[in-house]
Amino acid sequence: MRTNIKTAIVLTVAITSSVLFTSCTSADKAESTTETTAINAAGTTDADAHSGTHTYACPMHPEVTGKEGDMCPKCGMKLEHNDNAGKSNGKAYVMNVKTTPATIEAGKAGLFSFTPGVKDKEGELVPLDLHHERKIHLIVVSKDLSYFEHIHPDYQASGTYDLAVLPANKAYTAGANKNETHFAKGGEYILFADYTPTGGTPQLEKINLTVGGTPYKPVTYSSPKLSSTVDNYTLELVPEGNQFEVGKLAHIEGVLKKDGKVMDAATLENYLGAKAHMVVVGIDDKNYLHVHPEVVNGKFDLHTTFEKAGIYRGWVQFQDGGKIRTMDYVIAVK
Amino acid sequence: MNKRTQLMALVAAFFGLIGFQTATAHGGEDHGAATAPTGQAMTYFTSQAISDKYEVVLHYEPLEVGEAGKLRLYINEFDTNRPVDGATLQISSPDDEKLTIAVKPIGKGIYELTGTFPAKKAYSLTISLNAKPGADLLLLAGIEVGKDLPVATTAEPTTAHTHWYDNTFVLLGGGLLLGMGLMFFLMRLRNRRVAVSIAVLLGILPTANWQRANAHGGEDHGGGTAGGGATSSTFAIPKETQFLFNILTQRLQAGEQAQTTTVAGTVQPSSTGQAVVQSPQVGRLTSLQVRVGQTVSKGQTLAVVEQTIDAPTQINLESERNTLTAELQVARKEYDRLKTIEDIVAKRDLTEAEARLTRAQANLKVFSGITRSGGSNARSISLKAPVGGIVGPFTAAIGSTVNVGETLFTVTNLGKVYIEAQVFDKDLAVLRSAKSFGVAGVNDTGKSGVARLLSQAQTINASNQSQRLLFEMDNAGGAFKIGEFVNIRVQSARGTRGLSVPNSAISEMNGKAVVFIKDAPEVVSLAYVTTGADNGQFTQILTGVEADERVIVTGTYQAKMIYLNQ
């Protein structure tokens, strides 16, 4: 009798414990199956993505890769998930520029037509990705870096990205910084066309331009200028350690003041998808750098690395009250 | 080791085992671009591209190599999600120059592409499109040819998620073995009471409700995820559904939102806006020079009334005239006589005679003035419009007799009207800092005007404690009629800067305000927001959304239903 009771107890406990285990896990299984149904465009399942480690790359400098949360030392942008980073699609892109007339004259009407293309594959259409809300960012500087303009050619039905050059007496149709420009003086200019072909890597085309007419008087920059005032806004750049050093990731703090009072940079309007944009061009080598400041505690926080010593010109653009303001700087890197 | 410690160790070991949590929390994955809603088998492939103007989505069923395949292209405006109609499309492929794709519009913003893909590979299509928002060039990448749809994954979980504890048989066997082993030890215990209580406890334990937390969140869903589990705030709305339900979006931009309030009012004629024309005396209407509804200018003759005089009055008048004429003759004679003997008469008498003559002349002149017709028994009076305006309905007819003070015409000028509004205390703050007053009809919202505040209230309506304000409004077209009810939208000069959305964008979920944000062409996410001031049309959003995000403003209800049914 006692043995029978013993056996019954043994069986009861054994069965209940096994039931307990199975019931605990059945819910998990249902959960895990639903997670695998998301399928990406190429038809691969999530499992593929889960199995490998992710690559994070700078959206502007795809050669810069790292892990999540890292920052690009060149432009200070947060690295974004991009498993195709560093894998070129094997195409060499080129930006073809045509001007009408062949030589743009200062103070006269003209037209720039930009056509992105693939080297050795004439006629291939190159769709461009949006980056910072535009397909092409065109930076126009005079060779002495005294003149700066950031504009955006517009795609036309003809298949080119056009930019109108206005005659001296004609005002901008929809305000400055859009798809029009003008040249008050002739001389040497440099155009930087910043674009990303769809499926390709970011491209930068440096185009030298000679504008006819009375040339501008070149300005030489030697002493640093780290505070700039436009309208009632003042933006002061304060580098960490109070100096810019070669090859070191520079942390630059930007203190914005409006009417003499410190203003929270986070309250600025978005301009092209960011609170501010900074362009830096070297006086000597005319190397171009596009930096995106972050806003930390109401102040701009810029990160960049200067690879060579020398004098740089910098321009910061931001928008408030519907108006874009361009601040200019002279940066001495030692 | 005594028996008690041995027992404790055993029990602890057992609880340690059942306490073991099967941590399969799902988080941190990047799902990439997905195409099918969760839990459903995929029926088509997707490829999409966006620009600053357009969103282009391509849906296609598996394409066979060398066979004509049909693909469906959805085009909508990027900011508004409005389908793009009548687009001119030119489609080519950078992978194959010879590839030709025919385009046929089959619906609003929907185009059918037909083409034969010669090779088994992933194609890209360059879409050159031109429509009302402008020209654009986009690339649709990764169009799979010769590839079957992935099998619905609910059937077979992938190895990545298979664990030993997922297998029921392993668990059952393991549990059985464990239980038997446990009992073997229990049986050997001397203390039967302890053994039995443990056995009973183990029998009861499984009846407890074991809930495991299934954490799901924090995923980076990448460009186009179809949403995770039911707890995710991101969900998919296929393009055809968006078009069908007319889901439209608006891009958030920081702007000034003025404080506004609406007060009700009634249109009244302005002080110079309405005039009546009355007959100054009894007479007969001999001429009527206007029609009902005619626009007249100030001073224009409306009608002529002929004064009629009866016989006794006529006799009285004539005798009065004779008396006055006689008096004049007497006065003149007396004056002339005194004048000839001027040297000897008293100066006072001469002055008196002169005054008498002057008075008699004046009296006759006044009399003749009144009875201008000079003996005839009738005279005419022209009735003139005192203000410019429109002649209202009248009943006077030619030939009818009119009495003194009888109103013959009403001339109304709607060019300027007054609006009387009753304003309550709560609206006064906005009214004081008001910048503009917009007026709209209550019944006919199509008409609008701009009013000016004429006078603040001097008294308060005792019955409802409202203040009576008077506004003046230009109403050149005469759209607003006297007596009409209108709404006056008072816009304050004080505005607050921030993000605001149309009221139609906000819906409610679990008692909290939410908006739906379109993250990608076919992906929408739910955002809990805190709302600020509501001006009747727009509500300010304090937290929960950011500038440049695209918020669903039309079809919000449908989006909510899709979210709840996911």
ipTM higher than the 0.85 cut: no
Indicate whether B529 belongs to any domain. yes
| pLDDT value of residue B412 | 86
pLDDT higher than 50, residue A26: no
Instruction: Give yes or no: residues B169 and B251 share one domain.
Output: no
| pLDDT value of residue A16 | 53
Decide: helix, strand or coil at residue B161. helix
Q: Tens digit of pLDDT for each residue in B179-212? A: 677 777 767 766 777 767 776 666 565 555 544 4
Residue range B531-556: average pLDDT?
A: 86
Indicate whether A272 belongs to any domain. yes
Nearest CA in chain B to A13: B179
Classify strands A323-333 and A310-320 as parallel, antiparallel or unpaired.
Answer: antiparallel
Please say which residue of B144, B179, B214 terminates a domain: B144
Indicate whether B396 belongs to any domain. no
Average pLDDT, chain B: 79
Indicate whether A34 belongs to any domain. no
pLDDT higher than 50, residue B160: no
Indicate whether A151 belongs to any domain. yes
For residue A168, the domain's CATH number is 2.60.40.1930
pLDDT higher than 60, residue B22: no
CA-closest candidate to residue A269, choices A93, A133, A75: A133
Instruction: Give yes or no: residues B59 and B207 share one domain.
Output: no
Among B128, B171, B497, the strongest candidate for a mutation testing the A interface, having the largest count of A CBs within 10 A, is: B171
Indicate whether A24 belongs to any domain. no
- List the domain range (segments joined by +) for residue B244: 234-258+496-565
Indicate whether B62 belongs to any domain. yes
Residue range B351-358: average pLDDT?
A: 92
Size of interface A-B (CB pairs under 8 A): 232
Report the distance separating Cα B236 and Cα B239, nearest Å.
9
| pLDDT value of residue A83 | 61
Length in residues, chain A: 334
Please say which residue of A150, A178, A211 terminates a domain: A211
Nearest CA in chain A to B147: A43
pLDDT higher than 70, residue A88: no
| pLDDT value of residue A281 | 93
Instruction: Give yes or no: residues A180 and A234 share one domain.
Output: no
Among B10, B21, B29, the strongest candidate for a mutation testing the A interface, having the largest count of A CBs within 10 A, is: B29
Which residues of chain A neighbour B210 with C-beta distances below 8 Å? 20, 23-24
Angle at CA of residue B190, ends B189 and B193, nearest 5°: 90
Indicate whether B422 belongs to any domain. no
Nearest CA in chain A to B187: A6
Decide: helix, strand or coil at residue A111. strand
In this complex, which of A27, A37, A154 lies closest to B36 when CB atoms are compared? A37
Residue A241's pLDDT band (cuts 50, 70, 90): confident
| pLDDT value of residue B379 | 72
Instruction: Give yes or no: residues B195 and B138 share one domain.
Output: no
Instruction: Give yes or no: residues A206 and A239 share one domain.
Output: no
Residue B223's pLDDT band (cuts 50, 70, 90): very low
In this complex, which of B46, B187, B199 lies closest to A41 when CB atoms are compared? B46
Instruction: Give yes or no: residues B136 and B66 share one domain.
Output: yes
According to DSSP, residue B501 is labeled: E
Q: Tens digit of pLDDT for each residue in B66-75? A: 888 899 999 9
pTM of the model: 0.61
pLDDT higher than 80, residue A85: no
CA-closest candidate to residue A186, choices A108, A100, A105: A105
Most confident of B295-299, B400-404, B558-562: B558-562
In this complex, which of A23, A27, A81 lies closest to B30 when CB atoms are compared? A81
pLDDT higher than 80, residue A141: yes
pLDDT higher than 70, residue B479: yes
Instruction: Give yes or no: residues A205 and A237 share one domain.
Output: no
Token pair 């039905």: residue: A157
Residue range B161-167: average pLDDT?
A: 55
Residue range B172-178: average pLDDT?
A: 76
Please say which residue of B177, B198, B223 terminates a domain: B223
Instruction: Give yes or no: residues B49 and B29 share one domain.
Output: no
CA distances from B90 to B82, B130, B140 (A): 21, 9, 13
Decide: helix, strand or coil at residue A305. strand
Residues 6+ apart with CB under 8 A from A38: A46, B31, B34, B36, B38, B225, B226, B227, B228
Token pair 């509500």: residue: B539
Indicate whether B473 belongs to any domain. no
Average pLDDT, chain A: 81
Report the distance separating Cα A148 and Cα A5, nearest Å.
95
| pLDDT value of residue A114 | 94
Number of domains in chain B: 3
Please say which residue of A185, A211, A237 terminates a domain: A211
Residue range A95-113: average pLDDT?
A: 91
| Four-point Cα dihedral A48, A54, A59, A64, nearest 10 | -130
Instruction: Give yes or no: residues A174 and A283 share one domain.
Output: no
In this complex, which of A34, A128, A270 lies closest to B39 when CB atoms are compared? A34
| Min Cα–Cα distance to chain B from A266, Å | 11
Indicate whether A25 belongs to any domain. no
Report the distance separating Cα B246 and Cα B556, nearest Å.
10
Instruction: Give yes or no: residues B168 and B31 share one domain.
Output: yes
Contact (CB, 8 A) for B108 and B84: no
pLDDT higher than 60, residue B33: no
Phi, psi (deg, nearest 5) at residue A99:
-115, 145
* CB pair distance less than 8 Å for B206 and A20: yes
Instruction: Give yes or no: residues B127 and B52 share one domain.
Output: yes
According to DSSP, residue A39 is labeled: B
Q: What is the DSSP string of B501-562?
A: EEGGG-EEETTEEEEEEEEETTEEEEEE-EEEEE-SSEEEEEES--TT-EEEEESHHHHHHH
| pLDDT value of residue A7 | 60
Instruction: Give yes or no: residues A294 and A322 share one domain.
Output: yes
Instruction: Give yes or no: residues A196 and A238 share one domain.
Output: no
Indicate whether B464 belongs to any domain. no
Number of domains in chain A: 2
Indicate whether B51 belongs to any domain. yes
| Min Cα–Cα distance to chain A from B215, Å | 10
Instruction: Please give the residue that has the higher pLDDT: either B34 or A270.
Output: A270
Indicate whether A7 belongs to any domain. no
Residue range B159-167: average pLDDT?
A: 52
Point out the least confidently predicted range of B227-236, B454-463, B490-499, B520-529: B227-236
pLDDT higher than 70, residue B16: no
Instruction: Please give the residue that has the higher pLDDT: either B83 or B388.
Output: B83
| pLDDT value of residue B205 | 59
Among B11, B14, B22, B209, the strongest candidate for a mutation testing the A interface, having the largest count of A CBs within 10 A, is: B22
- List the domain range (segments joined by +) for residue A261: 227-333
Instruction: Give yes or no: residues A102 and A196 share one domain.
Output: yes
Instruction: Give yes or no: residues B127 and B51 share one domain.
Output: yes
Indicate whether A75 belongs to any domain. no
Q: Give me the residues of A, 57-116, that contact B with CB < 8 A.
A: 81
In this complex, which of B92, B168, B175 lies closest to A20 when CB atoms are compared? B175
Nearest CA in chain B to A12: B203
Q: What percent of chain A has pLDDT over 90?
A: 38
| pLDDT value of residue B561 | 92
Instruction: Give yes or no: residues B138 and B192 share one domain.
Output: no
Q: Respond yes or no on whether the N-terminal peptide bond of residue B280 is cis (omega within 30° of 0).
A: no
Please say which residue of A182, A211, A240 terminates a domain: A211
Indicate whether B238 belongs to any domain. yes
Which residues of chain A neighbour B152 with C-beta distances below 8 Å? 37
Instruction: Give yes or no: residues A140 and A102 share one domain.
Output: yes
User: How does B16-39 read in b/e, with b if 16+ C-beta sit within 10 Å?
Assistant: eebeeeeebbbeebbbbbbbbbbb
Indicate whether A254 belongs to any domain. yes
In this complex, which of B48, B214, B227 lies closest to A31 when CB atoms are compared? B214
Instruction: Give yes or no: residues A102 and A200 share one domain.
Output: yes
| pLDDT value of residue B287 | 86
* CB pair distance less than 8 Å for A38 and B31: yes
According to DSSP, residue A104 is labeled: P
Please say which residue of B223, B250, B268 terminates a domain: B223
Q: What percent of chain B has pLDDT over 90?
A: 25
